[in-house]
Structures are given as C-alpha cells and as structure tokens.
Structure 1
Amino acid sequence: MAEISEILRSARQAALSNRFDTAAGLCRRVLATYPNCLIALRILAWTELEGGQDTARDRFGTCSLLDPEDPLASVGQGVLHELQGRSDRALEHFVRAYELDPSDDRIAAEIVRLGGTAPQTHLAEAMRRLAKGDNAGAADHLRAASASNQSDPASCLALARAIWPLGGRTQVNNLVITVLGLSPNCLKAILYQLAVEVDGRRMLRARELVGRAAEIDPGFLLSRQYLGELGGPFLADTALSLPVRLRPA
C-alpha cells in the first residue's frame, strides 16, 4: 500500500507540473491492480480532459459514482460537454457542481456565462449550512431534498454527514445502505458503515469493509482523512489498522 501511495503522489505532482503523459502512465499502472482507485481515476480523467480525449467523460462519471459529493467530477463533465458543443448538458453539470459546492464563485460564474442562474435548491442550502456547522438546519433541507429525489446519493450522503454528529447511527446506516444500493462502490458510504461497525466493536464485519475501502482507496489517503473527520484519529487508527480482507476477484 505504501508503494501505491507514492505512485499516486507522483502522478499528482506530474499532473500539476503539466506532465500529463507521465501522470496518465502512473495512474494506469495503479488502475491495472485497483481498477476503482478513486485518486487514480480523478487524475487520469483530468489528464484525458487536458488531452481532449472523450474517455474523460466516463472517467468523471465513475468518479461521481465513487464519490457522489465531488463537485469537480461534475465540472469536468461540464467542460467536456461544452467543448463538444452541448452547452445545455454543460449547464446541467455546472448546476450540479454548484449544488455540491455553493461556495465556489467560479462555478457560479460558469453557470451565468452559459446563460443560467445559480440554483437555490435544498441541497445547495444544506451544503452551505454544513460548511457553517449547522448540522440540524442542514438536515432539514436534506430531508426535503431526499423526499423530492430519493435516487440522489449525494443528498443521502450529506444527510448522513449532518446527522452523524447528532448521534443518529441507525439512521446513518440506513442512509448509506440506500447509497450503496444506488452506487455499490461509494467510498464514503463504505466508510460510514465501517465507522458504525467499529463503534459497535463488530470487527469481523469491519475487516471486510476495510478491504472494500482498500479497493477504492489503496493506501487510505482519502479514508484516513474522512474517518478522522467522523471520529478523530482514534477511529481512523483503529479502523485502518485492521488486517485487509480483499474480496475475491
């Protein structure tokens, strides 16, 4: 796992230095073993976008399935659609990106440029409130968002994030089960389940979930940060020190 982490760091540095061929090669090296590695897919999608490759659209789509709350995956899809002359589809993706990150004025500016207006939806307002630490207020808006679109994994995930600090473990577990029904490899949903299992001292099930997380986040570069946000260093250290049980191919 340590070697994978170093490869991913090198790929990111190569992409930031505009060495896109090098970055893409490193990402493909990781994806040969871990085809759902979220970091590698994100970097590869952006290198393909820079190269004008149509394959970037599917990469960004996969990133959205693995992390439905990622606004940059929607931005990437929006850029591709505009480059290919589909301004209406581009606008849809930029609107979605804004809902996920309403604090980003650059996304709002792109929406206006494409002839739209920044949406004032329950999801966008909930994301604003979550950023301010108003979990109860965010939860109210997210319940309304989920009621109007029960097939939106981002709303379910954000609601789980809002009620986790309020102690609603059973409700969180039910929400992430819904998310995994829509997107079986959603990393954050798996990590919520892992946190619930560790909290309940059900370590056999937790080991299985660590293995599932490792398939998407080898090296746990994303998982450690997210678990730390859920329960501090103790939760992250306890969960990610469990022996990995990778599922058979």
Structure 2
Amino acid sequence: MADERVLITGASGVVGTLMRPRLAKPGRILRLLDVRPPAPPEPGEAVEVLTGSVTDPEAMARACEGADALIHLGGHSRENSWEEILDVNINGTQIALAAAQAAGIKRVILASSNHAVGFRRNDEAGPDGLPADSSARPDTYYGVGKAAMEALGSLYASRFGMDVICVRIGSCFETPVVLGQRGLTTWLSPDDGARLFEACLSAPSPGYRLIWGVSNNKRRLFSLDEAAALGYEPQDDAESYAAEVADLPGPTGIAADHIGGPFCTAPLGEYNPL
C-alpha cells in the first residue's frame, strides 16, 4: 500500500511547526509548503519540503499533485490590512481549495479561528459551551477572512463532494501562558492539536463540518461535542498553568465579555501581535 501523503500549507508557522513532529507516523509522508522555506528533513524524517505561496495557483497545483489530504494552515495569523487578508487569507483559501479539487484531494481541513465569532458574547455559551456551528460574528478583518474560509469550505464540499472540516482554533501554543488568563479558556495544546487533526483525517465521510479546536479546559467556553463526534478525545487542560498566570491582568470591558477578547478592541486593519 502506498504511503499516505498529507499536504500542510503554512508549515513554517507556529501551528505547522508544532504539528510537524506530532503528525509524523509510519506510512505517512508530510508535504510541507510555506513562503518561508520549512526546515529541511531530518535523517529518516518522511517529509517533502516545498517553497511557495497559497496565492500562487501553479505552486498550489504542484503541491496538491499526488496528495491524499490537505491541512490548510497558510495565511496571516493575526489582524492585517484588508488588502492582505483578502489576498492571502481569502483568495489564498480559494486557490488552495481549487487546487485540491482539481488534484482529486477528497479530505481538506481548514484552520479557522475563534475570531470568526469573536463578537459573540461569552454568556451565549450554554452548559456545553458555544456550539461550533454558531453563525459568524467576526471581530476583525482577520475574523472576516476566517468566516469567508468557512463559507468557501462549505461551497467546495457541497459542489464537489469533498470532505471539508473547518477547525475554529482557540489558540495553539506550547503553553497557554503566552496569552495570560485568556489562554486558560482558549488553549489547544499541541498534543491535543495533533489528536484533533488525526481525528479529522480519519473520520469516515464527515462531509462539511464546523468544529472547535480547543483542549478540555476547565474554563473553556466552547463545545467539544462536534469534535468528539469525529473521534477527538482531548487529554489536556490549561488549568494546570493557572498558577503561572494568576498575577497577570485579565481582559476587561468588551474584551472580557466577548469570545474574541482583545481582538474586539484592537485597531481594525492594523497588524497586532495579540
């Protein structure tokens, strides 16, 4: 049996770098694409390294050729100008999906974000958390880009019969400490991230799905029911880092009341490191 080939766009970014070793397994080749060249393969590492942009149709066509699945992480990961969000996050997603469809890729995982629903209030979350298919209420141009990504995923799933799973990621870092107290709510641990992507890759015939990408955090506001239906079993809880952020200031005002936190008040259209 031929090896499974999984294409990861944005492979040099934070999430791509964290997933690279965790998604490696016998019988799988990771094809890594980014505008910044991914690190070359280590001895014995089953990876193919490509340099290119998701906005380049020819580069995406080459990247998709012979791939079995696409994990689309490519794009700006923070607020940026409308022109940049439109070019990279929206047009880039359409180009990636079109290339995947033309290459016969049937399984696509799109990295969406909590910022697609950033202006939903925290108190909208019920006992089981905010449903993963809550309609878009973006908090930034970045959030608009993620909402457009989800819509494009739905279009390609419906028109072409592709399995497309949109993962509304909370925040995926080595630890939640980088986000202070907010991280105790939104964290997706790298290990749980790999568990989630594995579930998305292996779930039989999911069709189009919207799911949350968070760990089983004590303070989470997000439903895990939809991800659990695909086989996701999170093992981590950001609460183990609570003591490390206890003395850090928490969000206030609008940022404290809404899913998007400080993105709800950050300058619109300006890059920010939040």
Q: Which structure has the highest helix share of the two?
A: 1
TM value normalised by structure 1: 0.30
TM value normalised by structure 2: 0.28
Q: Which structure has the highest strand share of the two?
A: 2
Work out which structure has the larger RCO, using CA pairs closer than 8 Å and 6 or more positions apart in sequence.
2
